[in-house]
């Protein structure tokens, strides 16, 4: 730990600092907590704060690109018709594209107040080099998303999160430090192509590309890009009661990082329950498994371990106006305490399809 503090006091270059703190592993994140706690002594606190925001943001699932309304071409009428039920899932993709020439625009907000790291309470961390620490880590995220149907079987999406982060720590040794940031980073490019459409199964291939705008706009910067090839599966909805139609979903894939050790396996299973043509409720379990398992520094009594993250997602969509405007809400609650976790992550938003 004394060596870590010495590094924090040194004139380490920006490039080296970024290479150290951009790792997604738990150990790297905990190391960041220590550096942020020693904020007043660090010569490059602005870099730390930005990179810490990026590291924290990696623990948040991205809202799905799939539209609440989808359209298909009916050869008998020669027109595009809307699917009867709206989609309820907000963090599980459906294999159905939005429809050729159709747009879906959405805006959502979520507030994230982190409570634990590897099961340890952020308000009561202790370490001989920092004393007793009380962390307050909070994110406010607005995400704008646009999806366009290239054909009956394909669509593309651009998602741009705007993140305001407010991180503070109170140490019995260093006193109180606080960093706030407003970032338009990262951005996400997503694509989907429907592979199969049958009554028994529907399948689509997807690709999610994550990029940092800072890298794109900085001359000579090394681009850090993550790419996640995905597979989206579902069946057609089944009428199980006069008031309920059920539809299951399965997503699976791998989020590849330029450092393969920082890659992670992704999966999710979900179930929609359409109570009417105007409202659909959704339940899903989300899973992420980091590849990295490297023993590193132990800080705050937390050793570096691989994080296996399980979340429960509960939410739904409601048709507000003329099959065009939809409101949605969701809550994510953790099913375990690996990684950096919040007790609950509420989300609300609105979307339009035309």
Per-residue pLDDT for 13 more than 50?
no
What is the pLDDT at residue 10? 42
Assign 6 a pLDDT band (cuts: 50, 70, 90).
very low
Architecture of domain 2-353: Beta Barrel (2.40)
Per-residue pLDDT for 63 more than 50?
yes
Are 170 and 134 within 8 A, CB to CB? yes
Per-residue pLDDT for 48 more than 80?
no
Between 97 and 134, name the one with better pLDDT. Answer: 97
For the ranges 4-13, 19-28, 223-232, the one whose mean pLDDT is highest: 223-232
- What Cα–Cα distance (Å) separates residue 233 from each residue in 66, 153, 253? 13, 14, 12
Instruction: Mark residue 208 as left, alpha or beta (left: phi above 0; alpha: psi -120 to 50; beta: remaining).
Output: beta
pLDDT in tens, 280-311: 999 999 999 988 754 444 566 666 667 899 99
3-state secondary structure of 95: coil
What is the pLDDT at residue 8? 42
What is the pLDDT at residue 40? 44
Q: With CA atoms as reference, report the closest residue to 96 among 83, 79, 106.
A: 83
Looking at the DSSP bridge assignments, the partners of residue 272 are 247, 282
Written as one string, the DSSP assignment of 97-134 is ---TT-EEEEEEEEEEEEEEETTEETTSEEETTTEEEE
Per-residue pLDDT for 161 more than 80?
yes
What is the pLDDT at residue 117? 83
Assign 7 a pLDDT band (cuts: 50, 70, 90).
very low
Per-residue pLDDT for 16 more than 50?
no
Between 150 and 129, name the one with better pLDDT. Answer: 150
What is the pLDDT at residue 38? 54
Domain ranges, ordered by start, for the chain: 2-353
**79-86 contacts, C-beta under 8 A, 24 or more apart:** 82/323, 84/277, 85/237, 85/245, 85/247, 85/272, 85/274, 85/277, 85/280, 86/274, 86/277, 86/278, 86/279, 86/280, 86/317, 86/319, 86/326
Percent pLDDT > 90 in the chain is 47
Per-residue pLDDT for 268 more than 90?
yes
335-346 average pLDDT score: 92
Assign 43 a pLDDT band (cuts: 50, 70, 90).
very low
Which of 3-17, 63-77, 86-100, 249-263 shows the lowest mean pLDDT across its residues?
A: 3-17
What is the pLDDT at residue 149? 95
Q: With CA atoms as reference, report the closest residue to 206 among 180, 225, 229, 178.
A: 229
147-163 average pLDDT score: 96
Work out whether strand 175-183 and strand 202-211 pair parallel, antiparallel, or are unpaired: unpaired
pLDDT in tens, 140-150: 999 999 999 99
22-50 average pLDDT score: 52
Which of 94-98, 128-132, 242-246, 318-322 shows the lowest mean pLDDT across its residues?
A: 128-132
What is the pLDDT at residue 60? 82
Q: Running DSSP on this structure, what letter comes out for residue 39?
A: G
Between 243 and 71, name the one with better pLDDT. Answer: 243
Percent pLDDT > 70 in the chain is 74
97-121 average pLDDT score: 92
225-237 average pLDDT score: 93
What is the pLDDT at residue 49? 56
247-261 average pLDDT score: 90
Give the Cα separation of 347 and 340 in Å (integer): 18
Other Cβ atoms closer than 10 A to 220: 4
Q: Which run of H or of E encompasses 328?
A: strand 325-334
Alpha helical stretches, state H, the chain: 2-9, 14-21, 26-37, 45-57, 213-217
Are 33 and 300 within 8 A, CB to CB? yes
The per-residue pLDDT of the chain, averaged, comes to: 82
Between 186 and 128, name the one with better pLDDT. Answer: 186
């Amino acid at each position: 730990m004394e060596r870590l503090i010495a590094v924090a006091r040194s004139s380490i270059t920006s490039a080296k600092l970024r290479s150290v703190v951009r790792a997604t592993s738990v150990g790297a994140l905990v190391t960041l907590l220590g550096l942020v706690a020693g904020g007043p002594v660090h010569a490059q606190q602005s870099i730390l704060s930005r990179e810490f925001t990026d590291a924290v943001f990696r623990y948040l699932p991205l809202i799905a690109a799939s539209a609440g309304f989808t359209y298909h071409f009916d050869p008998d009428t020669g027109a595009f018709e809307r699917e009867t039920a709206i989609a309820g899932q907000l963090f599980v993709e459906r294999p159905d594209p939005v429809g050729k020439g159709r747009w879906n625009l959405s805006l959502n907000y979520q507030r994230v107040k982190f409570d634990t790291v590897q099961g340890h309470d952020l308000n009561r961390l202790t370490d001989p080099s920092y004393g007793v620490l009380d962390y307050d880590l909070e994110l406010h995220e607005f995400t704008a998303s646009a999806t366009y149907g290239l054909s009956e079987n394909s669509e593309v999406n651009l998602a741009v999160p705007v993140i305001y982060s407010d991180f503070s720590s109170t140490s019995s040794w260093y006193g109180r430090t606080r960093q706030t940031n407003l970032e338009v980073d990262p951005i996400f490019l997503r694509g989907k192509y429907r592979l199969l459409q049958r009554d028994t199964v529907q399948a689509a291939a997807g690709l999610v590309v994550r990029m940092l705008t800072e890298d794109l706009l900085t001359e000579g910067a090394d681009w850090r890009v993550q790419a996640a090839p995905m597979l989206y599966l579902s069946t057609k909805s089944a009428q199980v009661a006069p008031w309920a139609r059920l539809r299951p979903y399965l997503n699976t894939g791998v989020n590849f990082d330029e450092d393969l050790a920082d890659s992670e396996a992704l999966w999710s299973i979900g179930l929609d329950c359409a109570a009417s043509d105007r409202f659909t409720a959704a339940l899903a379990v989300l899973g992420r498994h980091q590849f990295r398992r490297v023993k590193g520094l132990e800080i705050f009594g937390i050793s570096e371990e691989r994080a296996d993250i399980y979340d429960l997602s509960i939410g739904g969509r409601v048709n507000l106006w003329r099959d065009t405007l939809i409101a949605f809400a969701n809550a994510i609650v953790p099913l375990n305490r690996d990684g950096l976790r919040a007790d609950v992550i509420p989300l609300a938003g609105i979307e339009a399809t035309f």
